[in-house]
């Protein structure tokens, strides 16, 4: 289990940073042909990624705007999705959208498609009070989850287009660390399992430990995490004192640490310092990341 996830930034900061990440994504996407492949997302083109980002924002907007207290599948049409995992369902949704949206060939329309979706999501967030019950994948069942998710999801995909174009990915330290915490803490939350990689069930359960540490801290926020693959389930501890004794440790700047935990930067990269069991790290990253 993980200590409950908590927002480390005020709501206004989440929405402001989210809008900035959406704007940055849109500006880069404007300059890239929609048919160009995105190396960080194998099998996806820039057009696929643009649709995915907008679909995610629309999904969250629908949940917030309708005050939904139950799960709604992104782009839900009422069709039976069978036993497909979350990852498989979202991939199928992107493929369906590819046949519907050829207007993304226009650079200005492509950028506006992203920013309009982000603006609608911010309006939906601001339009719901903190006391209103709202479904969330895990954590408090109110709107608290959604601004944090929106910033995390959009920042990661902004990194995807930054990496393919050589534009620096340099989020603020506290933003990058909050995104790392949002990602890693979910591994220890049973309610989050349906939204993780289908391979997550295969991660070790023999007490193996992995420590992810940032070279920088941000105020009172978390700067290192210890993952314990215990027989009874994965546990994630924040700022654990015994992190130095982990089977494998990863050290990187806040932005690079986010890229590592989301599989956008390989541990072999010279910007990343790894000590200990590299095979364990590689196995974890290949099975935990979706």
Where does the pLDDT of residue 77 fall: very low under 50, low under 70, confident under 90, or very high at 90 and above?
A: very low
Q: What is the spatial distance between Cα 152 and Cα 265, in angstroms, rounded to a whole number?
A: 16
Which runs of E-coded beta strand occur in the chain?
Answer: 208-214, 224-230, 233-238, 248-252, 273-276
Chain segment 141-199, per-residue pLDDT in tens: 999 999 999 999 999 999 999 999 999 999 999 999 999 999 999 999 999 999 899 99
For residue 290, the SS3 value is coil
For residue 95, the SS3 value is helix
Chain segment 222-262, per-residue pLDDT in tens: 899 999 999 999 999 998 876 789 999 999 999 999 999 99
Residues 6+ apart with CB under 8 A from 265: 252, 256, 259, 271, 272
Residues 6+ apart with CB under 8 A from 14: 7, 147, 148, 150, 151
For residue 233, the SS3 value is strand
């Amino acid at each position: 289990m993980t200590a409950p996830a908590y927002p480390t930034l005020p709501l206004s900061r989440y929405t402001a940073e989210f809008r900035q990440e959406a704007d940055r994504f849109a500006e880069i996407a404007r300059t890239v042909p929609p048919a160009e492949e995105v190396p960080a997302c194998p099998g996806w083109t820039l057009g696929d990624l643009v649709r995915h980002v907008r679909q995610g924002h629309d999904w969250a907007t629908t949940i917030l705007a309708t005050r939904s207290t139950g799960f709604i599948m992104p782009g839900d049409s009422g069709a039976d999705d069978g036993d497909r995992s979350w990852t498989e369902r979202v991939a199928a949704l992107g493929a369906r959208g590819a046949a519907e949206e050829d207007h993304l060939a226009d650079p200005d329309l492509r950028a506006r498609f992203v920013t309009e979706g982000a603006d609608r999501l911010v309006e939906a967030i601001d339009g719901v009070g903190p006391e209103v019950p709202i479904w969330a994948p895990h954590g408090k069942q109110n709107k608290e989850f959604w601004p944090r998710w929106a910033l995390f999801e959009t920042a990661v995909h902004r990194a995807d287009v930054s990496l393919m174009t050589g534009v620096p990915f340099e989020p603020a330290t506290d933003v990058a660390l909050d995104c790392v915490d949002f990602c890693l803490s979910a591994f220890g939350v049973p309610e989050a399992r349906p939204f993780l990689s289908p391979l997550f069930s295969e991660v070790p359960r023999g007490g193996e430990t992995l420590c992810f540490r940032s070279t920088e801290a941000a105020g009172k926020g978390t700067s290192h995490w210890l993952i314990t693959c215990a027989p009874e389930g994965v546990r994630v501890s924040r700022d654990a004192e015994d992190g130095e004794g982990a089977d494998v440790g990863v050290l990187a700047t806040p932005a690079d640490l986010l890229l590592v935990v989301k599989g956008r930067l390989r541990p072999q990269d010279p910007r990343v310092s790894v000590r200990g069991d590299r095979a364990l790290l590689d196995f974890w990253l290949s099975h935990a990341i979706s």
